[in-house]
Amino acid sequence: MVARVFPRRTKATPDDDMAFIGPLPREIEKSNPGIKEVHISVTFTYDIPKAEKLYKSWSRLGVPIEMGGPAFGDRNGDFVPGQYLKPGYTFTSRGCNNKCWFCSAWRDTNGLRELEIKDGWNILDDNILGTSDHHFMTVMDMLHRQPERPIFTGGIEAKLLRPWQAKLMKEIKTRRLYCAYDTPDDYEPLVEAGKIFRAAGFTTASHVLSCYVLIGYRGDTFEKAKSRLIDTIRAGFVPYAMLYRDKGGQVDPEWRAFQREWCRPQIVGVKMREYGGGD
C-alpha cells in the first residue's frame, strides 16, 4: 500500500483511507497498517517548506518516501485517476502552448501533450481548447456518459473558442466553466467568447459562465482590479478573483480582503445585478 501525504486539504484532495493531511499520525507510527511507500504530493511552491517537515515526520515509519508534484515542476507524467486527486477530477492533457509570465505550466511541460482520456467530470487541463479537434470531441463523448454534470475548472481560453465547441459544451449540460482574464489583451477575446457561448444557448443568469480574474500582481491597484472585475460582469461572466502569489506564497492582507469581497457568492450576486450581469 502507498500512503499519499498532502501539506493541505483542498476540494480536490483524495479522502480515502490511504490519503493523509499533515504529519505522521501517532496511531500509524505505532501500528503500521501495511504501508510500503509514502508519496508526498505538493501542488504549491509555498508549501515546499511544510512538505520538507512532512518528509522528516513520515520518515519515522521506516519505508521509502518520494516527494514530488507540480511545486517541483513534476507535470509530465500520465494521469492516474484517484491517485493524487479525488475521483471525478481528471486531466486529459498536460501543459500549454502559451507562455504566460505568471504561469509555470508551459515551463514544466515544454508545450502541450495529449493524454489517454480517463473518466471524470471535472476537467483540470491547463488548456483543453489547445488540444486537437479529435481529442476535444473524444473528451466531450467521455463527459456525456459521466454521472455528474461537467465542470471545466482548468480554464477555457477565450481566444481559441469556436462555435462548434461551445455547442458541444452546451449539449453535455456543462455545470460550470471558467475562462480567464489575466492580462489586458484577454478582454476582447472574453467579450467575443461570451457572445459565442450565448449563441450556443448559455445564459449569464445561469452563472455557468465564470471567469478567473488575476489580481494583486506587481503594478496592479484596487481601482484597476475592480475595473477588470466589473468588465468581466459586463462581458457576461461571473468573476472569480484570483490573488497572485509569488513562490513564497506571500499576500498583502488588504489584497486578501479585496479578493474575499469578489469571491463570496452572495456579494458577487449583488455586484452582478448592480453592474448588469444577467440576461
Residues 226, 249: Cα–Cα separation, whole Å: 22
Q: Please state the φ and ψ torsions of residue 198, each to the nearest 5 degrees.
A: -70, -35
Higher per-residue confidence, 110 vs 262: 262
For the record, the C-alpha cell of 174 comes out as 456543462
- Rounded-to-integer distance, Cα 127 and Cα 139, Å: 13
Whether 129 has a pLDDT exceeding 90, the answer reads: yes
> What pLDDT, on the 0 to 100 scale, is given for residue 118?
96
Number of H helices, E strands in the chain: 9, 12
pLDDT in tens, 152-199: 999 899 999 999 999 999 999 999 999 999 888 999 999 999 999 999
Query: pTM of this prediction?
Result: 0.89
Give the Å distances, CA to CA, from 39 to 68, 72, 188: 8, 13, 43
